Structure 1
């Protein structure tokens, strides 16, 4: 099997696994309703909360989506590395770090395309947040730490969650470019690969934000006020829906 075929299989399998719409399934089982016809129409954890009025169910759906995204990236990625090391003829032609970079980027892009445009629903799906979390958790948990630290800072400045997710993911991609080698995981020794993955995810996330940007321009969108949560003047669940 040629290495290019392996890359194609990585992308396809990541897309198929990433397409499993757990948020839609959870809502259907819990309420009998189609999540795409409720609230924002987004097939994601926040909209599950709107549909079920239940934080545990929304968290459960988010957990399943994140686990699915992690599997969609990890399974094809590690299988490709297994193929690489069991086929010595490629070792002298394709350096390990090059294969790892391409495999990681392809699996991540495939996973977010599956999440955002799931083949099983034949329509739009989520916005890609769970894939961002899963990609950083797999590639380098240190990046996830930076993402978590930056998010409350940027949301306080910007106020709009849809823009915040995109800005923070882009900034973490920039950080990934400058991570010292000692901070890279053994299975992802490639700063550029990590950065390109996050930049690619950022672009795909942007493509799903048209409705949110229109609401912001028209004044319909509401800003999150995370400081109210810390001061006890608002619930996190209420602010998260904005």
Structure 2
């Protein structure tokens, strides 16, 4: 039972590491939570600190997912369910980190890192999809949503065609639910036509607009 609690606590805390907050603070001295969407993921880090901040944050968040799976393998070698639990908790920790009063990101980068750690071959599909979907949709939220659906689809294909563990399909469905929940304010803005489009330069470094702040507050209180 002690190992189970170590798995749960460790995976959540790994996911909770505030990569975006630290990167933006070190590069610009600003609090990323007071800029753009108020999230700590790579897209909002880019708004606050430009492309270098976005890339560093995305890479760091991806590594968090990878480390959570390695933590599970160390505690429960050869048990896919442990990896699935660790992956879900790492995404949950990223989205609702204890260090930042449960205000984090949307879970995309740690979800990709976890998926790649579970099945390295998916990197050949997922990593090229990130810039492709971003270019096709023009929205970070739509890119995140589509990727969240792709992950369980890939693991289901592996389970059916290659005898992969079904626990990893459950992982993909669990992270899909967490990401959809975190993106609720984005869906509202998409319906209203106020969701900001992706740009690689010229990000405004401004406080959170009142509409976004209100959406963040609703998301926080209901999460």
Taking structure 1 as the reference length, what is the TM-score of the superposition? 0.73
Considering only aligned residues, what root-mean-square deviation do their CA atoms show, in Å? Answer: 2.7
Structure 2 vs 1, CA of residues 109 and 49 (structure 1 numbering), >3 Å: closer, same or farther? same
CA distance in 1, matches of 2:134, 2:29: 34
Q: How does 1:187-198 map to 2 (within 5 A)?
A: 189-190=164-165, 192-198=166-172
CA distance in 1, matches of 2:129, 2:42: 21
Structure 2 vs 1, CA of residues 47 and 157 (structure 1 numbering), >3 Å: closer, same or farther? closer
Give the match for residue 32 of structure 1. 29
CA distance in 2, matches of 1:218, 1:201: 26
CA distance in 2, matches of 1:180, 1:118: 32
CA distance in 1, matches of 2:33, 2:202: 21
Structure 2 vs 1, CA of residues 180 and 196 (structure 1 numbering), >3 Å: closer, same or farther? closer
Give the match for residue 73 of structure 1. 69
Larger radius of gyration: 1
Q: How does 1:127-166 map to 2 (within 5 A)?
A: 127-148=106-127, 150=129, 159-166=138-145
Question: How many aligned residue pairs are there?
Answer: 204
Give the match for residue 230 of structure 1. none
CA distance in 2, matches of 1:135, 1:47: 21
Note if contact 1:7-1:106 (Cα within 8 Å) is conserved in structure 2. Answer: no
Unaligned runs of 5+ in 2: 205-223
What is the Cα deviation at residue 155 of structure 1? Answer: 5.5
Say which structure, 1 or 2, has more relative contact order (CA 8 Å, 6+ apart).
2
What is the Cα deviation at residue 145 of structure 1? Answer: 2.2
What is the Cα deviation at residue 158 of structure 1? Answer: 5.1
Taking structure 2 as the reference length, what is the TM-score of the superposition? 0.79
Unaligned runs of 5+ in 1: 83-95, 225-235
CA distance in 1, matches of 2:11, 2:21: 19
